[in-house]
């Protein structure tokens, strides 16, 4: 029996106790979603549904309101009767779970009305699941969609044991249903089932017989209001279509994709569309035919348009064979350099998916200059819930603070009234089709009993969903919600302890890993643990340039790679200037001597020592804090986190010592406080 | 059709043209070996064998001489008649191939007698072949013994695709026969079929049904005078024997191994014995039961003794979870620290196999202090023909000069007359059983057409065999032999070019890789290419300790790890003292500032730059030299080496630039000659 995450059935039943429901969806029609809605009430909550609304004290009504968003809902309470209303059945599902959450958290008004509408129309989870059952960058066991029944290993995704590929599907539909419920409960409305690196037989997911199995999964998601996407291989027309080309301007290729889309929509009427990684890290793409990314994306858009589908085109394109010797090259420039000139050339149902930062989900990055650099393009901002660079769900790392700082970052653009646009509003502002913008994130669940390996890593999935729906929530509010829902047995002190650990964990991880935004000092085998020089002479464009005198990447216009020039003048000036560049991004933008003094008066080298000692010490403190929870929270969760914290401690010490020694050997500067730095 | 290596059939037939043979082995008995000997003459050389010796001009006679060694042979020529004689049929096989080689190389006296006896009684090749067909540290394709028929991939041995393991054997007996002939032709007399890391089902090779397949291979080897060994898993009594312990002093365990030996010798009467890697890098061993390595080895020795078998116990034992922070620890000390105290406690038919250097087959190491540190133990010196740390048979690296320097190294011990003992003589001097000492080396062949991936890497297999038989040969003489035998079509200039490349290749590789004996600046993923810091903060005990001031490992008694104290006073003094320590081992023994001046007057830092520029330039020169050979040697060989040299060039440049930049960033010292060192 898998972990209930934040949806404990007993808590939900307590919240709904004494309630009698009515469900009126006649105006939008009875369908799989309304059946699912009734099922949630009767089976999950154990409450009756009456046919006469007058006899119910919780009344779900679709189609009588007319919110701008078909996903918005209202909750209105008067005289002991609550009405949950929305345009659609999907909205009622969000309303039901929103009502339950409020009841549990104690925030339901006895009388009054609240309206809740999602900030972002696209709220998506990308799975990097592979048909052999492995998950690229997965740290919680095998795929919940693919792999053998009953199997769950933690092998590296690149070295996964060869599998019988005649049936790629795990077939655990209970698991899929539970997952769909989790997603719906926090407002996620789209999911892509398979890895963007579409290798081997995974290319066949868009065709029979596997398409039928995809449809079975999609039906479950659809009943919860979640639409299903597939990642496709740009070269599929040649690899499985028998064509001699995959040229996006070739009529036969376009016809082939149109046929593929037609057959998919026959099976999956509300299919979301395609996700495409093209001409990136070795994947095929339009460049082979002298075509642009827009040509590629628009071909898929044309095939999907008749069905209302969307193509999501990833902007994660860069030269992954960079020469470390040439300091004028800068991978951070790549997305902007590739896509800026294509602004306005993407179809209405095409969306460009941009990683939040210019590199790759590092602990600290500035906002991507494409978010602010486009003016007539649908954009999705991409996050990574799975903790690839954030501790592999071994180290506690509640990443919501970082993500929020990205969606609230200044894009450098102003609205019509001259007010600075944050990411969230900017997306609407530049959209060709405002219903096709939003957020996507790589998921973090697998077949582990608790779904995410580390119990506390559930908070990131929860938090990501909540952030997509309501970007005005603070990281602390989201942590408070999650903790209360997840540990209903915990007393207030215990919850405060958990929230304290969550709330500081992202900063703690940053402290003991790569300093001051320099990034990528990570072990090249899998990205867990330190490897200060692991990428320094490699082809990935991720360097720190540390020498005996200083460290950091000069990305200024004045003396460096010119990357800061990709931002609007306002943002560019902040980063270009040493005096205004935020310390936490100092080494991302500047190469400075170890003696450079930060805004708080410490030198760079002393800051490195200080933060690394502090970061590792914080983990010791987490262990002490966590141990006070023994017997006060669920034993399984307690033991899971206790064990992970021990491993985190080892990791933090490895980072602390390797970073400190590396920079001590380089700089020759001793710690001002005389702490142990190994020679 | 696989490459003929140094045994071109047409060359052999030319050498034997006009000869009529007689074979007289009556006194030692007709057996598989004499049948093989006849077969080599009739089928390989295409020459007749007559029953009346008087009618033959090449007469092979066994049993009439009585050499000290049963493998020695004589070749005596008078009046157009040649007599090849030896104690045994095996000796005649060596004699036949020795005679053919001399005929081809032009060194056969018309009249006179030569006697040739092997320097070392054990002349062995260890295969690190795995039953899935992969070869640990193999760079020439899959195993010639194991794997699927017709299959040949170059996957990393750790990530090999899972295989059907019901039949582990490749079954290509023609390939095995050809290989046995190569070995016999250079005097190899023992081969171990499987990897010393005996994992999974490989444990079952010592039992039916796979033992029957081993016996089939062993019969082929035996007919060429090569005895077969197997690597065994110390924990086999528990893993496949159904016992509750593998304690070497437990009577049931001893009885089980005795039974195993009995059953093997029923099938393979001249089976060589076992090779054991125990309590090393995670393999099981006697420590689990509080027993010593001698206890472990002697258990196997007891089981093998009734059959005349030998157990070979590897001394490659060290703590592979070392803490890089503790500079008092020193992996170089490990073998001596573990085994010195067991001197004299190994059975007569047990042999301790010691790697030539104290670390692990690096480009430059001093002789292991165990070779010189024991007084009553059978020893084998272990070499590595497969180019794990020497360029993966992509870079040309004729390693015979390095190996010869090891067998001629001063062990620090004197013979009875007070003369310094070199390795080769020392082995005899300290042997408990002088017939059980010698050399072993990890082989370098696989299923590639040319056996070794790089055509020129064949020279290492050839050279190793020749060195085992006759340690007085120079590296140049061996290269000359090999080149002449391998490229019979080449003119003298072409051969000189090849010999020049071979002769300098080991030094060239050393120049562009890790400097001055510091070692292990190698890419941790597979050990090809640079990775200056890849092992610096890892657990393997292989550090260079470079900082802004200097580099190297202080292994002195005075101020370092005390490793030099493991040598005899004479050798220890040489290494301990900066003034007498050879430059090429400077950083192995000392931590010095970059400004330290070498014996030739250059500073360490300038030496690093100079050698790295020179090493990479030498590869350019090899390419130019090699291209003069187009059309003058076999096309396949020409193209193979040409392609490898291009890859070697890339590797040499990567090494040059990464090493130079690393040390320039560290030291801040510019190149005295103003060449390009990237920042």
| Residue A229, pLDDT above cutoff 70 | yes
Kindly report which listed range (A458-472, B24-38, B362-376) carries the lowest average pLDDT score: B24-38
Number of helices (H) and strands (E) in chain B: give both, helices first.
18, 17
Inform me whether the C-beta atom of residue A26 falls under 8 Å from chain B C-beta atoms. no
The ipTM (two decimal places) reads: 0.92
What stretches of B240-326 adopt beta strand conformation (E)? 273-276, 310-314
Average pLDDT over residues B353-362: 98
Q: What is the mean pLDDT of chain B?
A: 96
Residues of A in contact with B324 (CB under 8 A): 678
Which segments of chain A belong to CATH 3.90.1330.10?
Answer: 515-553+591-667
Kindly name the residue from A24, A129, A330, A360 that is annotated as catalytic: A360
Within 8 A by CB and 6+ apart from B339, the residues are B293, B315, B317, B352, B354, B370, B374
d(CA A590, CA A575) in angstroms, rounded, equals 9
Within 8 A by CB and 6+ apart from B504, the residues are B618
Kindly report which listed range (A104-113, A613-622, B174-183, B472-481) carries the lowest average pLDDT score: A104-113
Inform me whether the C-beta atom of residue B158 falls under 8 Å from chain A C-beta atoms. yes
Average pLDDT over residues B335-343: 97
Inform me whether the C-beta atom of residue B537 falls under 8 Å from chain A C-beta atoms. yes
d(CA B207, CA B201) in angstroms, rounded, equals 11
Residue B366 DSSP code: P
User: What is residue B305's predicted lDDT score, i.e. its pLDDT?
Assistant: 98
Average pLDDT over residues A132-144: 96
Are A548 and B657 inside 8 Å of each other by CB? no
- Catalytic residue status for A360: yes
Superfamily of domain B122-486: Glycosidases (3.20.20.80)
Residue of B nearest to A669 (CA): B548
Inform me whether the C-beta atom of residue A200 falls under 8 Å from chain B C-beta atoms. no
Mutation for testing the A interface, residue in B159, B161, B537, B552 having most A CBs under 10 Å: B537
Tally Cβ neighbours within 10 Å of residue B320: 14
Which segments of chain A belong to CATH 3.30.379.10?
Answer: 9-116
Q: What is the three-state SS of A417-474?
A: CCCEEEHHHHHHHHCCCCCCCEEEEECCCCCCCCCCCCHHHHHHHHHHHHHHHCCCCC
Tally Cβ neighbours within 10 Å of residue B1: 5
User: What is residue A164's predicted lDDT score, i.e. its pLDDT?
Assistant: 67
Tally Cβ neighbours within 10 Å of residue A396: 28
Within 8 A by CB and 6+ apart from B191, the residues are B124, B125, B126, B127, B183, B221, B226, B227, B228, B229, B443
Kindly report which listed range (A18-27, B118-127, B162-171, B370-379) carries the lowest average pLDDT score: B162-171
Are B161 and A162 inside 8 Å of each other by CB? yes
Architecture of domain A9-116: 2-Layer Sandwich (3.30)
- Catalytic residue status for A302: no
d(CA A482, CA A455) in angstroms, rounded, equals 12
pLDDT in tens, B502-532: 999 999 999 999 999 999 999 999 999 999 9
Average pLDDT over residues B535-547: 97
User: What is residue A486's predicted lDDT score, i.e. its pLDDT?
Assistant: 98
Q: What is the mean pLDDT of chain A?
A: 96
User: What is residue B27's predicted lDDT score, i.e. its pLDDT?
Assistant: 81
Q: What are phi and psi of B554, to 5 degrees?
A: -80, 100
Q: What percent of chain A has pLDDT over 70?
A: 99
Q: What is the three-state SS of B411-423?
A: EEEECCCCCEEEH
Average pLDDT over residues B50-79: 94
User: What is residue B111's predicted lDDT score, i.e. its pLDDT?
Assistant: 82
Burial B136-161 (b: 16+ CB within 10 A, else e): bbbbbbbbbbbbbeeebebeebeebe
Tally Cβ neighbours within 10 Å of residue A156: 12
| Residue B29, pLDDT above cutoff 90 | no
pLDDT in tens, B362-415: 999 999 999 999 999 999 999 999 999 999 999 999 999 999 999 999 999 999
User: What is residue A409's predicted lDDT score, i.e. its pLDDT?
Assistant: 97
Q: Any idea how long chain B is?
A: 679
Cis peptide before B620 (omega within 30 of 0): no
d(CA A26, CA A23) in angstroms, rounded, equals 9
Which segments of chain B belong to CATH 3.20.20.80?
Answer: 122-486
| Residue A133, pLDDT above cutoff 90 | yes
| Residue B423, pLDDT above cutoff 90 | yes
Residues of B in contact with A537 (CB under 8 A): 530, 532, 654, 657-658, 661-662
- Using CA atoms, how far residue A404 sits from A400, A448, A679, in Å, is 6, 28, 39
Inform me whether the C-beta atom of residue B55 falls under 8 Å from chain A C-beta atoms. no
| Residue B141, pLDDT above cutoff 80 | yes
- Using CA atoms, how far residue A486 sits from A366, A445, B265, in Å, is 32, 16, 66
pLDDT in tens, B482-499: 999 999 999 999 999 999
Strands A592-593 and A227-231: unpaired
Selection from B283, B86, B287 nearest residue B203 by Cα: B283
Domain range B515-553+591-667, CATH class: alpha beta
Confidence of residue B108 (pLDDT cuts 50, 70, 90): low
- Catalytic residue status for A281: yes
User: What is residue B344's predicted lDDT score, i.e. its pLDDT?
Assistant: 98
Residue of B nearest to A657 (CA): B325
């Amino acid at each position: 029996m898998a972990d209930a995450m934040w949806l404990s059935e007993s808590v939900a039943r307590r919240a709904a106790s004494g309630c009698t429901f009515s469900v009126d969806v006649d105006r939008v029609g009875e369908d799989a979603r309304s059946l699912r809605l009734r099922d949630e009430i009767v089976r999950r909550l154990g409450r009756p549904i009456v046919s006469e609304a007058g006899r119910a004290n919780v009344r779900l009504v679709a189609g009588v309101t007319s919110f701008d968003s078909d996903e918005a809902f209202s909750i209105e309470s008067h005289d002991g009767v609550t009405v949950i209303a929305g345009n659609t059945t999907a909205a009622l599902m969000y309303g039901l779970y929103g009502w339950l959450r409020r009841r549990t958290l104690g925030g339901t008004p006895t009388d009054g009305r609240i309206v809740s509408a999602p900030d972002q129309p696209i709220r998506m989870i990308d799975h990097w699941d592979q048909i052999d059952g492995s998950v690229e960058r997965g740290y919680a066991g095998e795929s919940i969609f693919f792999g053998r029944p009953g199997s769950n290993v933690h092998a590296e995704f690149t070295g996964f044991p060869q599998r019988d590929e005649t049936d790629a599907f795990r077939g655990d539909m209970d698991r899929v249903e539970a997952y769909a419920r989790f997603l719906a409960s926090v407002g996620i409305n789209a999911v892509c089932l398979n890895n963007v690196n579409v290798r081997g037989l995974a290319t066949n997911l868009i065709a029979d017989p596997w398409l039928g199995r995809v449809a079975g999964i999609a039906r479950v998601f659809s009943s919860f209001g979640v639409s299903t996407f597939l990642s496709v291989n740009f070269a599929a027309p040649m690899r499985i279509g028998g064509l001699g080309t995959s040229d996006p301007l070739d009529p036969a290729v376009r016809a082939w994709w149109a046929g593929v889309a037609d057959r998919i929509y026959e099976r999956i009427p509300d299919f979301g569309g395609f996700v495409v990684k093209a001409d990136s890290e070795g994947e095929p793409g339009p460049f082979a035919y002298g075509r642009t990314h827009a040509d590629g994306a628009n071909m898929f858009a044309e095939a999907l348009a008749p069905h209302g589908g969307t193509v999501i085109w990833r902007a994660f394109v860069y030269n992954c064979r960079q020469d470390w010797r040439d300091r004028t090259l800068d991978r951070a420039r790549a997305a902007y350099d590739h896509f800026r000139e294509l602004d306005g050339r993407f179809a209405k149902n095409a969306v460009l998916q941009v990683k939040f930062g210019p590199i790759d989900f590092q602990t600290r990055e500035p906002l991507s200059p494409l978010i602010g650099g486009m003016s007539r393009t649908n954009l999705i901002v991409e996050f990574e819930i799975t903790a690839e660079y954030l501790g592999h769900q071994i180290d506690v790392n509640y990443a919501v603070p970082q993500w929020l700082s990205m969606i609230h970052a200044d894009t450098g653009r102003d609205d019509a009234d001259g007010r600075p646009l944050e990411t969230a509003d900017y997306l609407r502002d530049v959209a060709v089709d405002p219903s096709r913008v939003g957020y996507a994130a790589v998921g973090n669940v697998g077949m582990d009993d608790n779904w995410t390996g580390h119990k506390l890593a559930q908070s990131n999935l929860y938090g990501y969903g909540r952030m997509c729906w309501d970007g005005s929530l603070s990281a602390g509010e989201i942590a408070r919600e999650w903790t209360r829902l997840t540990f209903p047995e915990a007393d207030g002190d215990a919850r405060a302890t958990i929230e304290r650990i969550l709330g500081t964990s992202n900063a703690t991880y940053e402290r003991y890993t790569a300093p001051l935004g320099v990034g990528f000092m990570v072990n090249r085998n899998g990205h867990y643990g330190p490897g200060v020089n692991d990428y320094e002479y490699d082809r990935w464009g991720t360097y720190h340039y540390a020498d005996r005198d200083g460290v950091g990447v000069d990305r200024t216009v004045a003396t460096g790679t010119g990357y800061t020039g990709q931002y609007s003048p306002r943002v560019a000036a902040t980063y270009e200037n040493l005096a205004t560049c935020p310390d936490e991004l100092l080494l991302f933008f500047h190469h400075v001597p170890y003696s450079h003094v930060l805004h708080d008066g410490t030198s760079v080298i002393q800051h490195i020592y200080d933060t690394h000692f502090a970061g590792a010490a914080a983990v010791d403190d987490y262990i002490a804090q966590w141990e006070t929870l023994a017997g006060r929270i669920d034993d399984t969760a307690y033991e899971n986190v206790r064990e992970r914290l021990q491993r985190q401690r080892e990791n933090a010490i490895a980072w602390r010592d390797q970073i400190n020694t590396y920079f001590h050997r380089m700089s020759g500067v001793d710690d001002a406080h005389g702490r142990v730095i190994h020679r």
